[in-house]
Amino acid sequence: MKPVHNSTDILSKHLATACPEGVLDVIGIQDANVVRALPTELDEVVIRQQFTDIVFEQDNGYMLHLEFQTTKESSLYRFFGYDVALAEHFTRKIRTIVLYSGDIRFGPEVLDIGTATYRVENIYLNQLSGDDALDTVQRHLATKEWTPQDRVRLAFAFHMRFEKRSRDDAFDQVLQLTRMIPDEYEQNYVTALILGLSGRSLTKEQESRLKGMMKMTNVVREIEQEARQEGEHIKAIQVAEKMFRKGATVSDVVDITGLSEQEAEEIQRHL
């Protein structure tokens, strides 16, 4: 499956549905009642775009910006720049939380540029007990007490700290527990969330095994459709650039490529 930029948007949309009020408490995010997922792709111009990880709208009007980091962020300028663009685009206040995985135990929280002070909240997933998370899910499945919190436990478990299990054993149990979910739709749902949130941390063999469990999910179909559309859009932009260099008009480019007039004008301006 070819990855696409806005596959994160698709997965965050499903994560928002999977995370009703209070569910994110499981990973240490307090008072974040998610209403809906928002697009993470902000157009500056057609060719140059900014991407973040996940953006939600909260019920208090704030936007919740989640960033997943597998390495320590050296400064906060990148997040600050994105949040400025995000706030301007949506005219909302932003709450940014950086979720660190791996062995990272410290990251910058404040950026002081003189005229403004920018703050983020850091959560270190390796401080959460993956053993407890998986034991809780196993107990709930055994007693048929599956909860939305269990979705989040499984989705983030691979980023947590394990003392009773090796990481390979933990991954095997995540797959085993996911297969034990009685509802097939819920099983596919959780598998898609695990891949979307933990895919960067998996080995190729683990990723292949996980994808094997979700080949027919709606999430994968959406991502594959987006891949095709993105490929077609990139080709259209390349054709438009060639046409403009040969003296074509905006009208000609729109007719031939199917791009909107605004997109064609942006390409023409930035050649």
- pLDDT for residue 175 is more than 80: yes
What b/e sequence results for 182-216 when a residue is b if at least 16 CB atoms lie within 10 Å of its CB, and e otherwise?
A: eeeeebbbbbbbbbbbbbebbeeebeeebbebbee
Number of domains forming the structure of the chain = 3
pLDDT score, position 1: 38
Asked whether residue 234 is domain-assigned, the answer is yes
Contacts of 256 by beta carbon, 8 Å cutoff, 6+ apart: 239, 243, 248
pLDDT digits (tens, 9 = 90+) for 2-18: 344 444 555 555 555 55
- Does 44 reside within a domain? yes
Q: Which residue has the higher pLDDT, 160 or 230?
A: 160
CATH number of the domain within which 95 lies: 3.40.1350
pLDDT at 228: 67
Residue 94, pLDDT above cutoff 80: yes
Residue 222 inside a domain? The answer is no
Average pLDDT of span 240-262: 86
What are the φ/ψ torsions at residue 3 (nearest 5 degrees)?
Answer: -70, 145
> Residue 140 contacts by C-beta under 8 Å, 6 or more apart in sequence?
146, 147, 150
pLDDT at 180 exceeding the cut of 70: yes
- 114, 11: one domain: yes
pLDDT of residue 55: 82
pLDDT in tens, 97-135: 998 887 888 899 999 999 999 999 999 999 999 999 999
Tell me whether residue 181 is in a domain. Answer: yes
Query: What pLDDT score was predicted for residue 142?
Result: 94
Q: Say yes or no: 85 and 45 in one domain.
A: yes
Shared domain check, 117 and 168: no
- 221 domain residue, yes or no: no
Same-domain pairing of 56 and 70: yes
| Torsion angles phi and psi, residue 64, rounded to 5 | -100, 110
Residues 120 and 207 in one domain: no
The yes-or-no verdict on residue 36 having pLDDT over 70 is no
Q: Per the domain annotation, does 73 fall within a domain?
A: yes
* Nearest CA among 17, 102, 89, 20 for reference residue 52: 89
Containing structural domain, residue 237 = 228-269
Residues 182 and 171 in one domain: yes
Tokens encoding 122: 């850091």
Residues 55 and 117 in one domain: yes
Q: Are residues 171 and 106 in the same domain?
A: no
Domain assignment of residue 192, yes or no: yes
DSSP string for residues in the chain: ----TTHHHHHHHHHHHH--TTGGGGGT--S--EEEEE--EEESSSS-EEE-SEEEEETTS-EEEEEEESS--S-SHHHHHHHHHHHHHH---EEEEEEE-TT------EEE-SS-EEE-EEEEGGGSBHHHHHHHHHHHHHTT---HHHHHHHHHGGGSB-SSS-HHHHHHHHHHHHHH-SSHHHHHHHHHHHHHHHGGGS-HHHHHHHHHT-TT-HHHHHHHHHHHHHHHHHHHHHHHHHHHHTT--HHHHHHHH---HHHHHHHHHT-
Shared domain for 106 and 76, answered yes or no, is yes
The answer on 169 and 106 residing in a single domain is no
Residue with tokens 């260099």: 245
pTM recorded for the entire structure: 0.64
Mean pLDDT confidence for 175-193 = 83
Range name among 77-91, 211-225, 248-262 with the lowest pLDDT average: 211-225
